[in-house]
Structure 1
Amino acid sequence: MTADSIKTAVSNKQPALVQHFKKVIAKHELAHAYLFAGESGIGKDELATWIAMRLFCLNVEANEPCGKCQECRRISTGQHPDVVIVKPDGQSIKVDQVRFLKAEFTKSAVEGNQKIFIISDAEKMTAGAANSLLKFIEEPSPNVTAFLLTTNKNLMLPTIISRTEVVELKPLVPEQFKAQLREKQVTPSLIAMAVNLTNSVVEVETWLKDDWLSQVQSELARWFLMSFKKDMRAFIEVQAKLLTLAKTKDEQQLILDIVMLYCREALILKVNPQSERLSFPNQDKEITAQLPTKTTSALLLATQKALEAKNLLNRNVSFQNVLETLTIRLCQVY
């Protein structure tokens, strides 16, 4: 990203935190270590980079980095010697990477009196790496600020959490998330579904690989509409189509999440068809056509059965058994 695009992104995603850190920096009250926690795509990296740009910018304007000077440009491209970024090497951040970081901590700043360290995916530090980092956090060096970025604060060592200032980043509002997905050229029907499943662009991109999410959407639409019409051929669809799309536990859980959305969709269309959080615009007409024959209590019960199915999967009941049993129950309830 360019320096200007970082400024724009962080202002759009986390405007309140931008204002907060403007005041903190102006008062020279920046802490020695922060833990930025929140889902992927909500602005953690951009916020840490923006703070670094603000600290090093040669032409601060209205308490903001200019985004055009040499310092801003070098930081935005990861080329500033006093802004060190560590990312996972493979699946984890290893102890050697943290040792390198600690060695950098002890050096004087190359071009000024400030050093910034940004550790992305900090929850992926090995136990050795996390323990190695702990000493710096416990005994901070002057004019050194560390930013640890994580999507899962619960995976961080409690001792690290207790010695950092934790900043919980707010999720993107739906329109921001939709805009990001549109930039990735995700289709409108998939966007409508995705915004009710996650707030992470990275997660959606993973689901889109090899056209997987589109296939799931298509096959589940067919299966659900059969179940909704009490068509027991939906039972055959489980083994013929759906099992082939659910090879991992994560994929199985996501499929059941989408099933829950379908059950929820029918209920919403019954009680509030003008809702702005509908997930399946391409199927809503068919669902609505069947609603006169469905009671609200039946729709509520179907949603409950979908929730029970997810709980069964979490108790290690086989996905095939879970989905086949749910198919029978939905056909009975509807």
Structure 2
Amino acid sequence: MSFRSIQGQDRVKQVLQNSLRSDKVSHAYIFTGPGGTGRREMAKAFAQAIYCKVLPDDACGQCLDCRKVEHGNHPDLHWIVPDGSSIKIEQIRDLQKQFAYRASASGTKMYVLEQADKMTVQASNSLLKFLEEPTSQVVAVLITDNGQALLPTIRSRSQWISFLPMGRVQMKEKLLAEGHAPLLVQIAVHMAAGTEAARALIQTNGFAELRNLVIQLAKESLTRLPSALLTAQQKLAKGEFSEQLPQFMDMLILWLKDMVQLCLGSRDDIIYTDGMDWMTQQALSYPIDHWIACLEQAIETQKRLRFHANPQLALENILLRLKGV
């Protein structure tokens, strides 16, 4: 893993490589941004670059230290993930014990905390003590979706590195070049913030079927409402796709955005391109206010489902709204 092998995030690479060239690597970094933007890959590339014996500001991938980082067995690199639902104080204490020993020939010890915002209060306070007594021989990387969720005192002692969502055109080109189905790529790049996350979505079991279910329920709601209500109950509320209801809502919202576009007479950037003809006919059968109201209700339903609203009732309401009942 090298900086060169990571697509996008050029500003992040520049900051990290400049610090390596000038020998001014910070003792702590917060890698913050949406999932799928390459934060984990960047942390690994950064670690390899720090330990690489060949290149001054990147990883050669061939030297012994690069290979050890790649295979997860470098003695001076410690990677911490949540134990269950959180990072616990015992994990931070164990880390501190490991760091009490002198680093090997590299001279630098490094640790990476994934989902750092999931530290317990005790773990956060323990880590803070660790950060308050930095040495030039320690580098920390805290990876999080939401850096603001970390203690202000941890934020103030760390260099903030923001990861931005990758451009959809870039993501689409890369995924199509890998041979993924165009219809699935088109929707995945609108649901994910980076190539890795979009690829993972496409490869998820049932992703293609879930997309087809959105189209099926939309069609049935507009033409055979009782059938749509039954399908939603059997497949989504209580059936095989019940665990993927959040993804279904994401896909439905994208479909409704298409309908707003088509009602306005625009065919640019339509996601469900395979249904353009029948969608256009239906879009023009209702006033624009109808589709905007449906879209607003779908977004509100998505929020309510996060707070454990009744799935069947929530789905029935949105399908009824689609029909205009």
Q: TM-score range by the shorter chain?
A: 0.7 to 0.9
- Does residue 271 in structure 1 map to residue 264 in structure 2? yes
Q: 1:139-175: CA deviations, max 9, x gaps?
A: 1123211111122334433332232222111112213
Residues 256 and 87 (structure 1), Cα distance of their counterparts in 2 relative to 1, 3 Å cut: closer
Equivalent position to 2:82, from 85, 88, 97: 88
Mapping 1:97-176, distance limit 5 Å: 97-176=91-170
Measured after TM superposition, the shift of residue 16 of structure 1 is 1.6
Identity of matched residues, % = 27
TM-score (norm 2): 0.85
Contact 2:31 2:162 in 1 (8 A): yes
Equivalent position to 1:299, from 291, 297, 313: 291
CA distance in 1, matches of 2:211, 2:143: 32
Contact 1:239 1:320 in 2 (8 A): yes
CA distance in 1, matches of 2:65, 2:262: 53
Residues 274 and 207 (structure 1), Cα distance of their counterparts in 2 relative to 1, 3 Å cut: closer
Mapping 1:223-238, distance limit 5 Å: 223-229=217-223, 231=225, 233-238=227-232
Measured after TM superposition, the shift of residue 76 of structure 1 is 2.3
Q: CA RMSD in A?
A: 3.0
Residues 222 and 16 (structure 1), Cα distance of their counterparts in 2 relative to 1, 3 Å cut: same
Partner SS for 1:13: coil
CA distance in 2, matches of 1:129, 1:136: 11
Equivalent position to 1:322, from 301, 314, 319: 314
Equivalent position to 1:66, from 60, 64, 74: 60
Query: Which runs of no fewer than 5 residues in structure 2 stay unpaired?
Result: none
Measured after TM superposition, the shift of residue 15 of structure 1 is 1.5
CA distance in 1, matches of 2:165, 2:143: 15
Measured after TM superposition, the shift of residue 108 of structure 1 is 2.0
Residues 54 and 316 (structure 1), Cα distance of their counterparts in 2 relative to 1, 3 Å cut: closer
Contact 1:230 1:331 in 2 (8 A): no
Residues 17 and 205 (structure 1), Cα distance of their counterparts in 2 relative to 1, 3 Å cut: closer
CA distance in 2, matches of 1:214, 1:80: 40
TM-score (norm 1): 0.83
Query: Which runs of no fewer than 5 residues in structure 1 stay unpaired?
Result: none
Contact 1:93 1:129 in 2 (8 A): yes
Measured after TM superposition, the shift of residue 231 of structure 1 is 4.9
Contact 1:33 1:146 in 2 (8 A): yes
Partner SS for 1:282: helix
- Does residue 217 in structure 1 map to residue 206 in structure 2? no
CA distance in 1, matches of 2:323, 2:198: 32
CA distance in 2, matches of 1:130, 1:208: 35
Measured after TM superposition, the shift of residue 207 of structure 1 is 8.2
CA distance in 2, matches of 1:33, 1:268: 46
CA distance in 1, matches of 2:217, 2:92: 50
Tell me the residue number matched to 1:16.
11
Q: 1:33-79: CA deviations, max 9, x gaps?
A: 11111233322122222223333322226x43333322222222223
CA distance in 1, matches of 2:251, 2:28: 39
